[in-house]
Amino acid sequence: MASTNGLRDRRRRQTRRDIHAAALWLAREHGFDKITVDMISAEAGVSPRTFFNYFPNKEAAVLPGPTELPEGLAAQFITRGAAHPREVLADLTQLLVRDLADNAPQRQEMHAVFALTRSHPALLAAMLARFDSFQRSIAEAVAQRLEQRPDGEVPTLLAALALTAMRTGLERWACEESQSEADDSPVPYVERSAELLRTLLTP
């Protein structure tokens, strides 16, 4: 049963990746304004109906990555229990970094996405909404761990800090020229932003 679910999950992730890759390729080839859900579906070899099972619109399809913390990682994080906010933030960074390592985006791809968001306000807004939704799922995990309300100040602020580190690191990584294949991971960039955020406010 578990392996059937596992297979289905992998297939779903693959279809999602295929549609995303088709959308991004078409956007770079024809310009984001010119592409349609029908074009993306045809390119990915799925029906428009299937497209809408995965994404609400073309903006969402062009953007990479998930909008929620993976359940397994969130559960591990929550069971660690009460800790100093600095420690909670360090755990959050580790968790985001592990998620990034498991679902490594490609630098070229992220570069293209950030470039598209700069010229298409609707795409920027969709990306910000995705970060916001991701941030909310992190705030919920922090709230559960600290036994506080999810809209409480501490969970909200810690989630915002973690997301800020992730977004800043990802943007720097995506905008820098790739030095070599070997170091082509956003992880050191996100870790560096998180470390800088910690030390910035240390008296």
Q: For binding to a second copy (CB under 8 A), which residues are involved?
A: 84-86, 89, 121, 124-126, 128-129, 131-132, 151, 153-154, 156-158, 160-161, 164-165, 168, 172, 175, 192-193, 196-198, 200-203
Kindly tell me which of 101 and 128 has the beta carbon lying closer to a second copy. 128
Nearer to a second copy, 23 or 174 (CB): 174
Q: Which is nearer to a second copy, 28 or 130 (CB)?
A: 130
Cα end-to-end span (Å), the chain: 54
Query: How long is the chain?
Result: 203
b/e 52-82 (16+ beta carbons within 10 angstroms → b): eebbeebbbbbbbbeeebeeebbeebbeeee
Tell me the closest approach of the beta carbon of residue 1 to a second copy, in angstroms.
35
Q: Pick the closest to residue 126 from 136, 137, 117, 114 (CA basis).
A: 117
At closest approach, how far in Å is the CB of 95 from a second copy? 17
Shortest separation between residue 161's beta carbon and a second copy, angstroms: 7
Which of residues 69 and 123 has its CB atom nearest to a second copy in the complex? 123
State phi, psi for 104 to the nearest 5 degrees.
Answer: -55, 120
Nearest to 119 by CA among 62, 193, 52: 62
* CB of 72 vs a second copy, minimal distance in Å: 27
Nearer Cβ to a second copy (69/161): 161
Backbone angles phi and psi of 186, in degrees to 5: -75, -10
Least distance CB 101 / a second copy (angstroms) = 21
Q: What distance in Å separates the CA atoms of residue 167 and residue 29, rounded to the nearest whole number?
A: 26
CB of 193 to a second copy, least distance (A): 6
The count of C-alpha atoms lying within 13 angstroms of the C-alpha of 115, restricted to the half-sphere facing its C-beta, is: 14
CA 103 to CA 66: how far, in whole Å?
9
Question: Which lies closer to a second copy via its Cβ, residue 31 or residue 56?
Answer: 56
CB atoms within 10 A of CB 171: 16
